[in-house]
């Protein structure tokens, strides 16, 4: 039995979905532990190419139970669309479950997300506009609705009326239209008709899985640099993508987690606003975007691109208690004669820091300190083992591992399931 948390070690979009898809071939249970349909987890396998938003990336293995965990915020509308899309591709959905305690994202959360961003003027966060912030805010304010509420019509109606009392005032202040409670209640009953049988108390299910020694994967959304507490606040998401939250969000005891795999690109990308020290504004940045096809899986926005950030990986590895790294997109660097790695941040006073992450206002002012590594200038897409890799690529990976302070467990050299190997 192994419980493995798979978490993003950078600014998101590290390739978590494809790692989970690969590992789920051997897993009994996959649980998404936080976030909502702001996620875009791309998986390419025998079912084609799919950008998963809410459905765990283990869904392609019919023998794996897939649970949308309690720490998630679930938009039933977009979940239904995603289910239809996967069903049309022939994917079995009999093994998809939703925690009754997961929060619900309703249409007004998306409206509020858009209106709140507009109200921020030039100080936007660059959210995915999926209503994630407002839904988690309602959770903390105790005015959220949970997926299990759909199963209790009277309770649902009362909770909805309670929520709309404040929601409609907020909408009015921000210049939106008020929500009609009757129409929204009817919509919720439609959600219940289609999703009701999948909404379960996950505790008995996960408890039993642990008792029989099942292999469990905990799937994170986004990455540590957008963590609500440890990321570049306020340019963060409204939940905790770090491994410490995996147990709570998935619904199992913290001491059960055996492995924490940190997923990292062989370079850096970010979507949305906020400091991003290694961002490139030159031809190399453009080249990373073009070759890496760095466009958001959820919003289609061009991703900001930069060199690998060794300070961020050290921070991510420590904070998450990572046991190993999964390095993705190595092949994107095949075409670079020289590759840079950021090994420290120079503060405005001249001091260089390597082993701590400055807070947001300072991070805006740091200058990355780089070292240069020779590229390998040959395709790695066909490599299927450590020994297949060119020696310069192995040296580069060694350096990333050294900066993280942990070993490398997996390397990927292309987006397809078989373009990945254990080290």
Q: Which residues are catalytic?
A: 13, 41
Nearer to ligand GDP, 100 or 240 (CB): 240
Residue range at the interface with ligand IMO (CB under 6 A); choices 233-241, 305-313, 366-374, 383-391: 233-241
The contact pattern for ligand GDP, residues 147-186, with x = CB under 6 A and - = no contact, is ----------------------------------------
Among 274, 331, 336, 339, binds ligand GDP (CB under 6 A): 331
Q: Is 38 in the site for ligand IMO (CB under 6 A)?
A: yes
Q: Is residue 13 part of the contact set for Mg ion (CB under 5 A)?
A: yes
Pick one of 146, 192, 289, 329: the residue that binds ligand GDP (CB under 6 A).
Answer: 329
Choices 139-147, 178-186, 228-236, 411-419 (CB under 6 A): range interacting with ligand GDP? 411-419
Shortest reach from residue 349's CB to ligand IMO, in Å: 29
Q: Of 20 and 257, which CB lies nearer to Mg ion in the complex structure?
A: 20
| For Mg ion, the closer CB: 57 or 100 | 57
In this structure, what token pair is assigned to residue 236? 């963060």
Nearest approach, Cβ of residue 297 and Mg ion (Å): 5
Residue 271 sits in the site that holds ligand IMO (CB under 6 A): yes
Among 40, 144, 277, 306, binds Mg ion (CB under 5 A): 40
Q: How many residues form the binding site for ligand IMO (CB under 6 A)?
A: 24
The Cα–Cα gap between 313 and 188 comes to: 42
Contact string 284-313 vs ligand IMO (x = CB under 6 A) = -------------x----------------
Could you give the C-alpha distances from 151 to 176, 183, 191, 192, 283, in angstroms and in order? Answer: 29, 18, 10, 7, 54
Q: Is 272 in the site for ligand IMO (CB under 6 A)?
A: yes
H/E/C letters for each residue in the chain?
A: CCEEEEEECCCCCCCHHHHHHHHHHHCCEEEECCECCCCCEEEEECCEEEEECCCCCCCCCCCCEEEECCCEEECHHHHHHHHHHHHHCCCCCCCEEEECCCEECCHHHHHHHHHHHHHCCCCCCCCCCCCHHHHHHHHHCCCCCEHHHHHCHHHHHHHHHHHHHHHHHHHHHHCCCCCCHHHHHHHHHHHHHHHHHHEECHHHHHHHHHHCCCCEEEEEEEEHHHCCCCCCCCCCCCCCCCHHHHHHHHCCCHHHCCEEEEEEECCEEECCCCCCCCECCCHHHHHHHHHHCCECCCCCCECEEECEEHHHHHHHHHHHCCCEEEEECHHHHHHCCEEEEEEEEECCCCCEECCCCCCHHHHCCCEEEEEEEECCCCCCCCCCCHHHCCHHHHHHHHHHHHHHCCCEEEEECCCECCCEEEC
Among ligand GDP, ligand IMO, Mg ion, none, partner that 332 touches (CB below 5 to 8 angstroms by kind):
ligand GDP
Handedness of CA 291, 402, 255, 213 (dihedral sign): positive
Work out how close the CB of 242 gets to Mg ion at its nearest, in angstroms, rounded to a whole number.
17
User: By the 8 A CB rule, do 104 and 146 touch?
Assistant: yes
The residues in 9-48 that bind ligand GDP, with binding defined as CB under 6 A, are 13-18, 40-42, 44
Piece in contact with Mg ion (CB under 5 A), picked from 95-103, 120-128, 290-298, 391-399 = 290-298
Binding mask 63-102 for ligand IMO (x = CB under 6 A): ----------------------------------------
Residue 401's binding partner among ligand GDP, ligand IMO, Mg ion, none (Cβ under 5 to 8 angstroms by kind) is none
Is 41 a residue that touches ligand IMO (CB under 6 A)? yes
CB 225 → ligand GDP: shortest distance, Å? 13
Q: Binding mask 269-298 vs ligand GDP (x if CB under 6 A, - otherwise)?
A: ------------------------x---x-
């Amino acid at each position: 039995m192994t419980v493995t948390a798979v978490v993003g070690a950078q600014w998101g979009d590290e390739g978590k979905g494809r790692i989970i898809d690969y590992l789920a071939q051997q897993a009994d249970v996959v649980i998404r532990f936080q976030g909502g349909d702001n996620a875009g987890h791309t998986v390419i396998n025998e079912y084609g190419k799919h950008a998963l938003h809410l459905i765990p990336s283990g869904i392609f293995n019919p023998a794996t139970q897939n649970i949308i965990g309690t720490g998630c915020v679930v938009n039933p509308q977009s979940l239904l669309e995603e289910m239809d899309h996967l069903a049309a591709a022939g994917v079995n959905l009999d093994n998809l479950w939703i925690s009754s305690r997961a929060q619900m994202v309703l249409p007004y959360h998306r409206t509020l997300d858009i209106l709140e961003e507009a109200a921020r003027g030039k100080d936007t966060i660059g959210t995915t506009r999926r209503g994630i912030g407002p839904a988690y805010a309602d959770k903390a304010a105790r005015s959220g609705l949970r997926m299990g509420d759909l199963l209790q019509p009277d309770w649902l109606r009362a909770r909805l009326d309670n929520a709309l009392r404040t929601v409609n005032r907020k909408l009015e202040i921000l210049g939106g239209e008020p929500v009609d409670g009757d129409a929204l209640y009817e919509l919720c009953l439609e959600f219940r008709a289609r999703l009701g049988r999948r909404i379960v108390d996950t505790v008995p299910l996960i408890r039993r899985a642990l008792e029989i020694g099942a292999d469990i994967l905990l799937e994170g959304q986004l990455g540590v640099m957008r963590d609500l507490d440890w990321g570049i606040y306020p340019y963060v998401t409204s939940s905790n993508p770090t491994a410490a939250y995996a147990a709570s969000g998935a619904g199992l005891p913290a001491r059960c987690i055996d492995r924490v795999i940190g997923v990292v690109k062989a370079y850096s990308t970010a979507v949305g606003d906020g400091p991003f020290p290694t961002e490139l504004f030159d031809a190399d940045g453009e080249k990373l975007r073009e070759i890496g096809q760095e466009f958001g899986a959820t919003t289609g926005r061009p991703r900001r691109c930069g060199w690998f950030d060794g300070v961020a990986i050290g921070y991510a590895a420590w904070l998450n208690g990572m046991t190993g790294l999964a390095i993705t997109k190595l092949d994107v660097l095949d075409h670079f004669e020289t590759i840079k790695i950021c090994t420290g941040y120079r503060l405005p006073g001249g001091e260089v820091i390597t082993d701590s992450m400055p807070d947001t206002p300072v991070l805006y002012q740091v200058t990355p300190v780089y070292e240069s590594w020779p590229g390998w200038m040959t395709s790695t897409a066909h490599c299927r083992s450590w020994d297949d890799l060119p020696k310069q690529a192995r040296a580069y990976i060694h350096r990333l591992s050294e900066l993280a302070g942990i070993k490398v467990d997996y390397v990927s050299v292309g987006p397809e399931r078989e373009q990945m190997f254990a080290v």
